[in-house]
């Protein structure tokens, strides 16, 4: 009866093929090699475990409340096997494979979040800039527990993503759990066509370049170099660069290598190690930087993952940039898409990557050189005070310098306060860049300038005339 059931099942063919190496080993040894095969005896399948599998399969096929085809059950078995490996390995049917290609090209439909699985729930790795998710305030680390009132527990990642995808202008209801919040949060989003602008470059305080990379796509490195060169042509007095990788979920490995290479002349960028021979790769920087003369600060947070961590780790280990922010996500694994048939593939974790100094980022992340938490900061305004330049009849600056009265100082404070209240981490990065620039300028000046020798009639501090330290009060 058992074998009769197998003949009615596609599993019979699968098992006959799978048991060939085992049968050959048994013929050669005259014993049940598979039952006692140790971990070092490669190529031998565990016969007792295969029997267990066929029994379970047979019970489901004959007794489950709904009749399922053999092909469906076998596909479920494949999905379950891969799902147990790690959160980033997955089974790709035809549509999933197409979606993967679309994501790396930069345009897809949905709400605009990078997600993974954690404890059976969908975890937000990061929202994508300028998308419905980002505008609705979804944050890295949020756990999605319901999608359109359907519990997420029990879904695999592809099922959850399928629900989140949908036509433009259609609604999606999310229920999320956020650390520090007592109750779940319900959010209604309007789906949109997600066009990810991978690179944006703009000016900070006129003389500093702000480079934002939202996601690493094919062509991101080339696009960044092009935009940065154009920026420097328009701002020849550029004094430093802020590279913002916060909430960047990663993307194409080669793109991250190209971005790091743009700021390095030589040396290792990243290397990978895996079980397969072709999994061991080393990526080096080529001569020629896009901004060799400029100091750099790289911004990261717990939404910076994968390719973002490759760039931050390379620039940190090579001493090219100061890393500021909070510890990154910690995804240090490489996924390879392996075609199984013409329409199906698996995305399989095949290697781990390491920074130039041999650090594994997996489950640890990149630790910033300067830790700055994101916070709501309000500047304490000093009471309005009269300055020397406000006094009637005051002396002008003898060097012809521009005067600074209370009104101009208030304007200066307001510009700084805007950035401080909007993005305190970026504010700190800009201040750090200014400090690095000033320090470098003074070092250069000290090397090229000599102080004149003291003259015989020079005045000492003890001989200086007394002056009032404060203006007269009326």
Looking at the structure, tell me whether residues 156 and 288 fall in a common domain.
no
Looking at the structure, tell me whether residues 207 and 268 fall in a common domain.
yes
Confidence of residue 227 (pLDDT cuts 50, 70, 90): very high
pLDDT of residue 104: 55
Looking at the structure, tell me whether residues 187 and 270 fall in a common domain.
no
What is the full DSSP assignment across 415-435? Answer: HHHHHHHH-HHHHHHHHHHHH
Q: Of the listed 129, 261, 302, 317, which one is catalytic? A: 317
Tens-digit pLDDT profile for residues 20-42: 444 444 444 444 444 444 444 56
Where is the domain boundary, 48, 68, 88?
Answer: 68
The tokens describing 239, both together, are 């004094």
Looking at the structure, tell me whether residues 206 and 190 fall in a common domain.
no
Residue 244, domain member (yes or no):
yes
User: Could you give the 3-state DSSP secondary structure of residue 216?
Assistant: strand
Match 């700190």 to its residue by tokens.
Answer: 428
Which CATH number do you get for residue 316? 3.90.226.10
Looking at the structure, tell me whether residues 10 and 141 fall in a common domain.
no
Residue 425, domain member (yes or no):
no
Is residue 15 scored above 60 in pLDDT? no
219 in the Ramachandran plot: left (φ > 0), alpha (ψ -120 to 50) or beta? left
Residue 101, domain member (yes or no):
no
Domain residues for 315?
Answer: 199-371
Question: Once rounded to an integer, what is the mean pLDDT over residues 393-406?
Answer: 82
Residue 257, domain member (yes or no):
yes
Where is the domain boundary, 154, 169, 194?
Answer: 194
Residue 7, domain member (yes or no):
yes
Tens-digit pLDDT profile for residues 249-262: 998 899 999 999 99
59 in the Ramachandran plot: left (φ > 0), alpha (ψ -120 to 50) or beta? alpha
User: Could you give the 3-state DSSP secondary structure of residue 444?
Assistant: helix
Give exposure, 24-60, as e/b (b: 16+ Cβ within 10 Å): ebbeeeeeebbeebeeeeeebbebeeeeeebeebeee
Looking at the structure, tell me whether residues 179 and 282 fall in a common domain.
no
**Does the annotation count 306 as an active-site position?**
yes
Which CATH number do you get for residue 121? 2.30.42.10
Closest to 83 measured CA to CA, from 55, 50, 116, 60: 116
Residue 462, domain member (yes or no):
no
Looking at the structure, tell me whether residues 233 and 322 fall in a common domain.
yes
Looking at the structure, tell me whether residues 170 and 209 fall in a common domain.
no
Contact by Cβ (8 Å): 132, 107: no
Distance CA 191, CA 188 (A): 10
Element counts in the chain: helices (H) and strands (E): 14, 19
Distance CA 370, CA 238 (A): 23
The tokens describing 446, both together, are 């000290």
Q: Of the listed 123, 239, 331, 347, which one is catalytic? A: 331
Tens-digit pLDDT profile for residues 325-354: 999 999 999 998 898 988 889 999 999 999
Looking at the structure, tell me whether residues 360 and 251 fall in a common domain.
yes
Q: Of the listed 198, 306, 308, 328, which one is catalytic? A: 306
Match 């066929």 to its residue by tokens.
Answer: 54
pLDDT of residue 290: 94
Tens-digit pLDDT profile for residues 413-459: 556 667 777 899 999 999 999 999 999 888 888 887 655 555 545 54
Domain count, the chain: 3
Looking at the structure, tell me whether residues 59 and 114 fall in a common domain.
no
Looking at the structure, tell me whether residues 265 and 344 fall in a common domain.
yes
């Amino acid at each position: 009866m058992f074998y009769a059931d197998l003949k009615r099942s596609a599993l019979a063919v699968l098992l006959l093929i799978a048991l060939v190496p085992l049968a050959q080993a048994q013929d050669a040894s005259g014993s049940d090699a598979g039952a006692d095969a140790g971990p070092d005896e490669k190529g031998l399948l565990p016969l007792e475990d295969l029997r267990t599998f066929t029994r379970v399969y047979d019970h489901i096929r004959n007794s489950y409340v709904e009749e399922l085809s053999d092909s469906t059950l076998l596909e479920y078995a494949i999905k379950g096997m891969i799902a147990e490996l790690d959160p980033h390995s997955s089974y790709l049917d035809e549509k999933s494979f197409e979606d993967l290609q679309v994501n790396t090209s930069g345009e897809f439909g949905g709400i605009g979040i990078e997600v993974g699985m954690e404890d059976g729930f969908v975890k937000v790795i990061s929202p994508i800039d300028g998308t419905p998710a980002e505008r609705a305030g979804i944050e890295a680390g949020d756990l999605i527990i319901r999608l359109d009132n359907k519990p997420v527990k029990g879904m695999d990642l592809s099922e959850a993503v399928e629900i989140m995808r949908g036509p433009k202008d259609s609604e999606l209801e999310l229920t999320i759990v956020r650390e520090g919040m007592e109750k779940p949060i319900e959010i209604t989003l309007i789906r949109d066509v997600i066009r990810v602008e991978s690179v944006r470059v703009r000016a900070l305080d006129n003389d500093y370049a702000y480079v934002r990379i939202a996601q690493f796509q094919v062509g991101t490195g080339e696009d960044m170099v092009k935009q940065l060169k154009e920026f420097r042509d328009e701002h020849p007095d550029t004094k430093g660069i802020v590279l913002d990788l916060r909430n960047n979920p990663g993307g194409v490995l080669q793109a991250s290598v190209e971005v790091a290479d743009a700021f390095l002349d030589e040396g290792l960028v990243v290397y990978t190690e895996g079980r397969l021979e072709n999994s061991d790769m080393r990526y080096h920087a080529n001569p020629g930087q896009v901004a060799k003369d400029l100091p750099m600060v790289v911004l990261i947070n717990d939404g910076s993952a994968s390719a973002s961590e490759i760039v931050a780790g390379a620039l940190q280990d090579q001493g090219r940039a100061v890393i500021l922010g909070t510890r990154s996500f910690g995804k240090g694994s490489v996924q390879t898409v392996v075609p199984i048939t013409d329409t199906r593939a698996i995305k399989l974790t095949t290697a781990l990557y390491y920074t130039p100094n041999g650090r594994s980022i997996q489950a640890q992340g990149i630790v910033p050189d300067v830790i700055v938490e994101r916070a709501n900061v309000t500047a304490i305004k000093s009471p309005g005070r009269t300055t020397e330049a406000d006094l009637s009849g005051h002396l002008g600056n003898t060097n012809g310098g521009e005067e600074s009265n209370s009104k101009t100082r208030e304007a200066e404070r307001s510009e700084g306060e805007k950035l401080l209240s909007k993005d305190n981490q970026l504010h700190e990065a800009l201040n750090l860049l200014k400090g690095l620039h000033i320090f470098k300028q003074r070092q250069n000046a000290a090397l090229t300038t000599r102080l004149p020798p003291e003259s015989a009639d020079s005045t000492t501090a003890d001989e200086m005339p007394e002056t009032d330290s404060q203006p007269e009060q009326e």
